[in-house]
Homo-oligomer: A and B are copies of this chain.
Amino acid sequence: MTNQIPNIIIGRLPLYLRALIRLEKDGYTYASSRELGRMLDISAAQIRKDLSHFGELGKRGKGYEIDFLICKLNEILHTDNVWKIIVLGAGDLGSGLARYKGFVNRGFQVSAIFDVDPDKIGKMIGDLQVKDIKDLAVYVKENQIQIAILAIPAEFSQNIIDELVSAGITAILNYAPIYLKAPDGVRIEHIDPSVHLQKLSYFLK
């Protein structure tokens, strides 16, 4: 059944989860769809409709119990466990991601970082020692890694995808400024700061 839920709804669930975590930190117990809507610039009706796909999650008159909904959303998004992920590319961006503190309690942990550059291989980045990309396939298989972050130059990104996929990677988060074609059964998300900047420039004169 859940396979039928449109991607656009799935894409909003992590935003709901993030807003709920913020409310929980601020000491709230219940959240109404109206409050969530105000935080997220999404209509309350839309939020109620989105969440109704996953059962009766709210209580009439009280709203959503924050703890419960966080738990439920983590279950739905499969972040009730921690996914080990790998970073490809130990340049500026990859190093930043290997040290990034924003994965804690969100369901992800960078477990290895890879590069092709002999000057970078063996170097420590935070707690991680940069590995040779030659060892990628073995590492991915042994550690049953499914998610990779691409932080390599755009011109090399498409080529590495086949290698990643044949090693067992099925989900890719791409930071390079290039649109990558995903082979069957593989999903790719893009981090594109220009898209965010354009949402800001709309409001500027």
Contacts and interface: CB of A to CB of B under 8 A. Distances in A.
Given A96-B91, A96-B92, A173 B200 contact: yes
Contacts of A103: 193-194, 197
Interface residues of A, number: 62
A198 B93 contact: no
Interface majority SS (helix, strand, loop, mixed), chain A? mixed
Copies of this chain, whole number:
2
A134 interface: no
A146 interface: yes
A203 B5 CA distance: 11
A201 B93 CA distance: 22
A170 interface: yes
A194 to B, nearest CB: 4
A35 to B, nearest CB: 15
A84 B78 CA distance: 40
B195 A18 contact: yes
